Amino acid sequence: MDESPTGATGHPPGRNGGDRAGRPASARLAHLITELQGYGLRVEVPIESRQGGAGPADAGMLWIDGVAATVPTGAGYAQASPYVLQAEDDGWGVYRDGERLASAQPFQRPRYYDLTTSGGIPYWQIALLHLDSLASTVLQTCAYWGNSDQCAFCGIGVTLANGRTIAKKTPEMLAEVAVAAKNLDGAVDATLTTGSTATPDKGALYVARCGQAVREAAGLPVEVQFEPPRDLAVIDQVADMGIDSVGIHVETFDPQVLARVAPAKARTGIEGYFRAWERAVAAFGEGQVSTYVILGMGEDPDLIAEGCRRAIDIGVYPFVVPLRPTVGSLMENMVAPPAEYCETIYRRVVPYLSARGLGARGVAAGCARCQACSAISLHEASLHEASDGGSHEGRTDADGRIHLPILSNR
């Protein structure tokens, strides 16, 4: 795991001071990235971005003051953002109303993208580099895609239809690409996901075989992501393959929203996810099991905060992210949730993470290690800075525990 509380970047963290509102550097950056992930960022020239793929996607990738971040750049609403990425004499900056707020470094096209397999498949169609994490959807098909079970936020079929990827990546292909991504472009881990299969294991064993091959060939820590298998013993089999972290994504703790946006996941039910997580924490350890929690789908925020705390209690890291409406998904006409709302949820979750001793820096691999799609780890950093006496935004209690203001518990 990266030493930086803001996620591994391979770049030095920014050293800018606080802003005019008196916020310290970490709080200022946390606020800025939360805003960018809500409003989006206008770009003068196209930057490398992720489009489609399983789960919530579609975002430009860049470092902001040295911190890895994905922010909407291609969506329509991003064109109306007050934030703009501007070229400077020596680099780039993020501006609002003519004021320079941060340095920026757009993600450069990785060198391994120029390579092809002996069978003629471009490496970039097998796995992409998401900033410093090698990422692939190993089965680009899902048993739920195109029928009434399709997850509304998902774009897994979009990239396949556009010819930007291949339907099935083999362990051998992924191992070959992982070695190149590590050696040529400095990939630090691998994040492998899969569409769900109609088999009882839901695809878990195949994505784990792919992860095992990547780990053995490139020596990278690996996260694999899958739905709860019918037989939870499958989770133990995944652990036995040497996988470092797992993502088992409930997506929301509001059961009504889950039923509306992810009917198949709703059949597993939130309690079904908790059963899978308990088994996974026993197999992988506390903090190595994570779930996406997507904000902005009409959920009750109290249910989200309560669900996150319950997950944290059993050692699961809730990776709270704003919705990224994916072009081609059933939610393509939605917009990302307001930054203020996301910040409120982060502030209700982060103190519990800290009190429980969980944090992004403890995750070995995957989305919760990378953290670029959320500002939650920046709020963790802000909290730690506050505990060092650098801020009036947090406080340390008599037991030495650190608290950010909890805006509302009910």
User: Residues in the site for ligand SF4, rule: CB under 6 A?
Assistant: 54-55, 142, 144-145, 150-151, 154, 156, 195-196, 227, 262
> At closest approach, how far in Å is the CB of 76 from ligand SF4?
22
148-152: list long-range contacts, CB under 8 Å, 24+ apart.
148/263, 149/263, 149/264, 150/330, 151/55, 151/251, 151/261, 151/262, 151/264, 151/265, 152/260, 152/261, 152/262, 152/297, 152/329, 152/330, 152/331
How buried is 120 (Cβ within 10 angstroms: 0-12 exposed, 13-18 middle, 19+ buried)? Answer: exposed
The 3-state DSSP composition of the chain as helix, strand, coil percent (nearest 5) reads 35, 20, 45
**Residue 290: count of CB within 10 angstroms of its CB:** 27
CB of 356 to ligand SF4, least distance (A): 27
Whose Cβ is closer to ligand SF4: residue 67's or residue 207's? 207
Residue 193 tokens, joined? 């996901």
Nearer to ligand SF4, 153 or 352 (CB): 153
Q: In angstroms, give the least distance from the CB of 150 to ligand SF4.
A: 5
Q: Which is nearer to ligand SF4, 197 or 371 (CB)?
A: 197
Residue placing its CB nearer to ligand SF4 in the complex, 72 or 228: 228
Half-sphere exposure of 199 (CA within 13 A, CB side): 11
Which of residues 80 and 161 has its CB atom nearest to ligand SF4 in the complex?
A: 161
Decide: 371 and 350 in contact? Cβ < 8 Å: no
| Nearest approach, Cβ of residue 156 and ligand SF4 (Å) | 4
- Residue 347 beta carbon to ligand SF4: minimum distance, rounded to whole angstroms: 27
Residue number with CB closer to ligand SF4 (81 or 150): 150
Mapped onto helix, strand or coil, the DSSP state of residue 135 is strand
Question: Which CB, 28 or 50, lies closer to ligand SF4?
Answer: 50
Q: What's the closest the beta carbon of residue 226 comes to ligand SF4, in angstroms? A: 9
Give the span between the Cα atoms of 309 and 258, in whole angstroms.
18
At its nearest, how many Å lie between ligand SF4 and the CB of residue 268? 10
Nearest distance from C-beta of residue 179 to ligand SF4, angstroms: 27
When the beta carbons of 64 and 152 are compared against ligand SF4, the nearer one is: 152
Where b means 16+ CB within 10 Å and e means fewer, 226-236 reads: bbbbeebebbe
From its phi and psi, is residue 371 left (phi > 0), alpha (psi between -120 and 50) or beta? left
For ligand SF4, the closer of residues 150 and 387 by Cβ is: 150
Give Cβ neighbours of residue 90 (< 8 Å, ≥ 6 apart): none
Burial of 170 (0-12, 13-18, 19+ CB in 10 A): middle
The helix-helix angle for 171-185 and 204-218 (nearest 10°) equals 40
Least Å distance, CB 58 to ligand SF4, is: 14
What token pair was written down for 311?
């997950």
Could you give the CA distance from residue 16 to residue 32 in angstroms, rounded to a whole number? 13
Cβ proximity to ligand SF4, 129 vs 331, nearer residue: 331
Question: How far apart are CB 155 and ligand SF4 at their closest, in Å?
Answer: 8
